[in-house]
Amino acid sequence: MNIGIVGLGLIGGSLGLDLRSQPNLHYVWGISRNQTTCDRAVALGAVDVASQNFASIPQIDRTDVVFICTPISAILSAITSVIPHISQTAIITDVGSVKSSISLQGQMLWSRFVGGHPMAGTAFSGIEAAERSLFQQRVCVLTPGIDRAALEMVRSIWESVGATVYESSPEAHDRAVAWISHLPVIVSAGLLLAAQREGNDEISQLAQKLASSGFRDTSRVGGGNPELGRMMAEYNQTALLDHLYSYQQTLQDLITMIEQGQWQEIQTALEVAQHLRPLYVRE
Amino acid sequence: MNIGIVGLGLIGGSLGLDLRSQPNLHYVWGISRNQTTCDRAVALGAVDVASQNFASIPQIDRTDVVFICTPISAILSAITSVIPHISQTAIITDVGSVKSSISLQGQMLWSRFVGGHPMAGTAFSGIEAAERSLFQQRVCVLTPGIDRAALEMVRSIWESVGATVYESSPEAHDRAVAWISHLPVIVSAGLLLAAQREGNDEISQLAQKLASSGFRDTSRVGGGNPELGRMMAEYNQTALLDHLYSYQQTLQDLITMIEQGQWQEIQTALEVAQHLRPLYVRE
């Protein structure tokens, strides 16, 4: 197949590495705003050719599928940019972590558009962070639209790199990821920012020395990529706020129990939490 | 040395395993309320002898140091129970995760008492969870009291099993661990309990399928041992509530930014969080 990747960062670069290592040889082209990134993507083997300009890509008119792997804010403009260079039968898909604001508008721009979200991040970003097998045993959500065949094609590519594909409406996707991805970022960042409010330097320094695996894990996503966190909040504002209000209420209930010394109630709440976790986490 | 361990769970059992594997052979005795635990502790090699009764322990009157490794709620009564069986020169220390309510009262019961807190938990508890080298590269806090020599003896034992020892007042310890250990438990449990408030089953089930490393890490300590979480809240109520109020305020600030669409402010806050994390976490 002839496959395009627009945006050669962690996701785009990793997808290219996997596709080019497959036995059924694909021709993979890439686009980046940055010439150095183009050169590195070719050198690392993530793409066969890369350019800053669509017009410079050999055989771009014979493209089968284009993956838009830019930041969320650039997805729709990237779709608009690629359209003049591809044939009517080409499929366009994306990897944005929110879908309500992308999937419908994407289809209005291109009928063979399929919204997608491979859930595979690392602490790092950019082409240098790209790695093989990033999508193995990860989940990818696709939002079905009018073109079933387009969706099945995109599904087969994600499955070929090891992902498990689920289908969902854009709205259900956004509320679900707000629970398991976006809310945790704010909750976790809040922990780091609150600890900074400690007024006593001795206690603050001792806390820093004593912090171990519990603090490390609880603060991990809050200490992650700030641009990504901002994008999540900006593009999934409604669902995130809904969940933050639920979280505030839950926290207030726990605080009231602690204030009133309701230790059995606290233990029961923690037992419920312990039983809930395996629904989400398979370790 | 002649070393006693009262309470043969994860911490007591692991300490016994390490002490008995050292080249300078110690005689290690253990006490558990449960005969099966006593038998298992001997079989696993965590202690030389174990009993439900102090009076049955050979040479208990020649004990150098007793480690009280019971749950927090039983520490003071365990000190009272061991006192009639040991000599005036014996040192008593504990491993409780709060110190204000223990260190001073411990010293009132026994002048050679040293409050201690090795920060080494796992997801598991009980003698079967005991493991060698649990304290390697972990931190142990000791609260200095009137007997400097007693503290140095306890320090040397913790250092011999690989821990880094810090000294602190009981109050500073409790406020510090409330930041890095007790607050994260409540914040993390709140995430699991809030997600359960999702009223739409489709979204709830999708969230469970999509949850990956971010949710796993952020929810880990909240889905941990409920009895331990309850004890932390009960015995460190004041510091935990202070920090929960700071956390609530921090969270409200973040929510206000998201409500008002202050995306640059959210990004700046997340950048601050990103810069704070390495103060606590050495990865």
Residues of chain B in contact with residue A273, where contact means CB-CB under 8 angstroms, are 188-189, 192-193, 219, 222-223, 226
Residues of chain A in contact with residue B188, where contact means CB-CB under 8 angstroms, are 187, 218, 273
Nearest by CB to residue B190, choosing from A173, A234, A247, is A247
Is B13 in a helix, a strand, or coil?
Answer: helix
- For residues B118 and B12, the answer to whether their CB atoms sit within 8 Å is no
By C-alpha distance, the chain B residue nearest A171 is: B203
Low-confidence ranges of chain A (pLDDT < 70): 123, 283
Residue B123 is predicted with a pLDDT of 67
Query: In this predicted model, what pLDDT tens digit does every residue of B131-188 receive, in sequence order?
Result: 999 999 999 999 998 899 999 999 999 999 999 999 999 999 999 999 999 999 999 9
- Closest Cα partner for A134 from A155, A94, A163, A166? A163
Q: Domains in chain B, ordered, with CATH?
A: 2-168 (3.40.50.720), 172-280 (1.10.3660.10)
Nearest by CB to residue B280, choosing from A183, A215, A266, is A215
Question: DSSP characters for B88-134?
Answer: TT-EEEE--S--HHHHHHHHHH-TTEEEEEEE---S--SGGG--TTT
Inter-chain CB proximity A191 and B247 less than 8 Å: yes
Inter-chain CB proximity B276 and A227 less than 8 Å: no
Query: In this predicted model, what pLDDT tens digit does every residue of B260-282 receive, in sequence order?
Result: 999 999 999 999 999 999 999 98
- For residues A194 and A219, the answer to whether their CB atoms sit within 8 Å is no
Query: In this predicted model, what pLDDT tens digit does every residue of B207-251 receive, in sequence order?
Result: 999 998 899 999 999 999 999 899 999 999 999 999 999 999 999
Q: Is the pLDDT of residue B122 over 90?
A: no
Inter-chain CB proximity B210 and A269 less than 8 Å: no
Distance from CA of B53 to the nearest CA of A (A): 30
Sheet holding A113-119, edge to edge: A49-51, A27-31, A2-6, A65-68, A91-94, A113-119, A139-143, A164-167
